[in-house]
Structure 1
Amino acid sequence: MTPANRTPVRVGVFGLLGSGNLGNDGSLEAVLGYLRAEHPDAVVDALCGGPEAVTTRFGIPATRLHWNRGEYRTASRAASIAAKGLGKLVDVFRTAAWVRRHDVAIVPGMGVLEATLPLRPWGFPYSLFLLCASGRLFGTRVALVGVGAAPIGNRPTRALVRWSARLAGYRSYRDGLSRDAMRAMGVDTARDEVYPDLAFALPAPPASGPDKLSAPPGPVCVGVMDFHGGDDDRARAEEIHRRYLDGTTRFVRALVEDGRPVRLLTGDECDRQVVDAILDAVDSPLVTAAEAASLADLMKEMAAAHTVVATRYHNLVCALKVGTPTLALSYAAKSDALMDRMGLAVYCHPAREVDADRLLEQFRALEERSAELRRTLAERNLVAARQLEDQFTALTAALFPAADHAHTLREAR
């Protein structure tokens, strides 16, 4: 309880939250769970991409991240270009005013220090820089918690990301590759720690369905993505997308020919068009699509599956979290690192060059080791849970020193 002579800590959460990406919202859910358990008196609000969705789902006040409502629409006319330019200027003052009202600002997970998907420097990298610079200016502690990072080729984007990381008061990463990438960009990471992705702190659904160690092969969850390559692949984005869609479709068709039910999953609203394309190409009652609105929904689907094949990073997290043997259609090093952490490093397949025949071979090899891999995942999940307890303890010490001191005194009594 907050003493009568001390005002509650004001905490802001920041990012592309409530914008349709289930992984981003899952990271927010994990951090809010931590705050409500360890710092229940904290006053929490958000500066985010989808304020209405965040308020409705999580029950906290939220403000729109960008003044310009057309921020993520392509600007081709003079008026829309001018509105974007004006918005960038207005956002300087809006972000600064929001940061100034808080004691702590948290960026919960997400790949905020990477460009593994197409990204413009004046988009989110610019917004993140405004947050971190404002925090340094007004003395607000900015924490990048369990974030992802990767080498960035575009020089303006790399500069904004580097300065954002330098100006933040606390940094931790979701894998060692992220910390290495920031060190290579000139950030002093000597005091930065690596922990599992924040989504591993979310509760897993109860076990459902038949005993998968003894039941015959059952449903397969296939998590798809509107994949066009990364920021450096813009020139051949459509070619990459066609190859990904064709290979994934052929793989789903092969599963259906074997009599396997297939459940198509997404991780972002934009992935729906890939689901529709596969449903049109593979006209079979064995192929259905799930309407998942959260990582909890994804985990329920994956817990009921015999095996998962997935592309989006947080689809992989959900499958591994519930202990279902998983094959990654990997589009970035972060997916490979996650699979390695969970003991499934050999079950990765490149999303840029999906070879349906080779993918099917890997899939069958995965299923042959299903029982063994389920035991491995159970062990790795226990380790991840302990490591995330350490993450939240470290976060309290860094951002809430008074609360951490009081907690230590209570333990000593």
Structure 2
Amino acid sequence: MTSADETPVRVGVFGLLGSGNLGNDGSLEAVLGYLRAEHPEAVVDALCGGPEVVTARYGIPATRLHWYRGEYRTALRAGAIAAKGLGKLVDAFRTAAWVRRHDVVIVPGMGVLEATLPLRPWGFPYSLFLLCATGRLFGTRVALVSVGADAIGNRPTRALVRWSARLATYRSYRDALSRDAMRAMGVNTARDEVYPDLAFALPTPRAGGPSGPPGPVCVGVMDFHGGNDDRARAEEIHRRYLDGTTRFVRTLVEEGRAVRLLTGDECDAPVVAAILDAVDSPLVTAAEAASLADLMKETAAADTVVATRYHNLICALKVGTPTLALSYAAKSDALMAEMGLAAYCHPAREVDADRLLERFRALEKHSAELRRTLAERNLAAARQLEHQFTALTTALFPAADHAHALREAP
């Protein structure tokens, strides 16, 4: 509780939240759950991509991340280019003013230190740098919590990401590969820890499991065009991914299997539409998931899951459903290995339906064993995240941590 003469701690959450990516919003939900449980006195608001969505869904005030509303549209005309350039200057002042009003700012999960998907340095990397630099300037503690990172080739992006990490008060990563990548880019990670993705802290719906009626095969798809270094062959990669995934779905349907298509971002809808059009069968349906909780319910009701998006994988693994990853980045391989399913990965850049089916049949053959493994790994992940939140309180809320210690003392 906060006494009458004390000012409540002011906490900001920052990122591309409320913008249609379910994984990002799931990370926010996990952090808000931690704050409401451990620091109910905190006054929380957001600087984010979709403020209207964040306010409506999570009940906290929110401010738009970018002054220029066309930030993530390609600027072709002179007026749009000028407006985008002006927006960068305006955002520097807007971000500084927002940061200055807070005691703590948390960046909840997300791949904020990576470029595994197409990314321009003057987009989110610039925004993150503004946050961390102004946090250091005004003495606001900035925490990058269970974030993803990778080694970045583009020099301006790498520089912005490296300095953002260096300027943060607290850093933790969602896998060891991320920490290693930041170390390789010149960040001192000696005090940085690795914890599971924040989505593992969310409530888990009751699993259907093999004891009930046969469930569908959930296939999580993605509007995948490769990463930052694949721009020259982006369309070829996308065509191969879509063709291979469609062939896989068609084969399952020909065998009489029900298929449930999942997405993780609004931009994935055209891929779902293309598969539904190519495989014209009542056995293929599309889920309309609005949150990670919805995705977890879908994957809990499935016999098996084949998924591309990172948080589609997490949802399936968290509910204990045997899962095969269409892996587009090292983070997916690392996650699958951590959960005991390293053998069940297939490259998203080269989807071969025959090889994918072979891996899928092996997955189903070992289903019971894999469910036991996932149950054990999920218990371990939950314990690790409890430690993460304790460490976060110590780093960001020293007064609250001291008061807690006094209450616990004999």
Q: 1: distance between equivalents of 2:246 and 2:403?
A: 56
Query: Are 2:335 and 1:324 aligned?
Result: no
- TM-score w.r.t. structure 1 length? 0.98
Contact 1:219 1:262 in 2 (8 A): yes
SS of the equivalent of 1:308 reads strand
Partner of 2:123: 123
Distance in 2 between the 1:285 and 1:122 partners?
45
**Residue 300 of structure 2 is aligned with which of 291, 300, 303?**
303
SS of the equivalent of 2:164 reads: helix
Kindly report which structure 2 residues correspond to 1:181-260, keeping only aligned pairs within 5 A, or say none.
181-208=181-208, 211-212=209-210, 214=211, 218-260=215-257
Q: Which residue number in structure 1 is paired with residue 173 of structure 2?
A: 173
* Cross-structure match for 1:26: 26
- Mapped pair 1:270 → 2:267: yes
Match among 387, 393, 396 for residue 396 of structure 1: 393
1:385 counterpart (382, 387, 398): 382
Mapped pair 1:111 → 2:108: no
Q: Residue deviations 1:224-283, cap 9 Å, x none? A: 000000000000000000000000000000100111000000000000000000000000
Instruction: Tell me the equivalent position of 1:408.
Output: 405
Contact kept in structure 2, 1:47 and 1:62, CA below 8 Å: yes
Q: Distance in 2 between matches of 1:259 and 1:407?
A: 57
Which amino acid letter does the alignment assign opposite residue 295 of structure 1?
L
Native 8 Å contact 2:317 2:323 kept in 1: yes
Identity, in percent, stands at 89
User: Offset at 1:217?
Assistant: 5.2
* Cα distance in 2 between the residues matched to 1:216 and 1:298: 19
Is the aligned partner of 1:83 residue 2:80? no
Q: Look up the SS of the partner of 1:92 in the other structure.
A: helix
Q: Which residue does the alignment assign to 2:43?
A: 43
Where in structure 1 are there 5+ consecutive unaligned residues? none
Instruction: For 2:61, give the aligned amino acid.
Output: P
d(CA) in 1 for partners of 2:124 and 2:32? 22
Name 1:353's counterpart in structure 2.
350
Aligned AA (2:342) = A
User: Does the 8 Å contact 1:96/1:131 carry over to 2?
Assistant: yes
Asked if structure 1 preserves the Cα contact closer than 8 Å seen for 2:68 and 2:83, the reply is yes
Correspondence 1:73 to 2:105: no
Count of residues in correspondence between the two structures: 410
Runs of at least 5 residues in structure 2 that lack an aligned partner in the other structure: none
Equivalent position SS for 1:11: strand
Q: Quick check: 1:137 aligned with 2:137?
A: yes
TM-score of the superposed pair, with normalisation by structure 2: 0.99
Q: Is the 8 A contact 2:12 2:47 kept in 1?
A: yes
Deviation at 1:216, TM superposition (A): 7.4
- Contact 1:142/1:169 (CA < 8 Å) preserved in 2? yes
Q: CA deviation at 1:4?
A: 2.0
Question: Aligned pair 1:152/2:152, yes or no?
Answer: yes
2-side partners of 1:85 and 1:216: how far apart? Answer: 57
| Structure 2 Cα separation of the partners of residues 59 and 399 of structure 1 | 23
Which letter maps to 2:170?
Y
Moved over 4 A (4+): 214-217
Structure 1 residue 5: Cα displacement: 2.0
Structure 1 counterpart SS, 2:238:
helix
Q: Report if aligned partners of 1:218, 1:260 keep a CA contact under 8 Å in 2.
A: no
CA-CA distance at 1:98 after TM superposition: 0.2
RMSD over equivalenced CA pairs, Å: 0.8
1:218, distance to aligned residue in structure 2 (A) = 3.3
Q: 1:385-409: per-residue Cα shift (whole Å, max 9, x none)?
A: 0000000000000000111111111
C-alpha distance in structure 1 between counterparts of 2:97 and 2:20, whole Å? 26
Report the Cα distance in structure 2 between the residues aligned to 1:309 and 1:344, rounded to whole angstroms. Answer: 12
Partner AA of 1:61 in structure 2: P
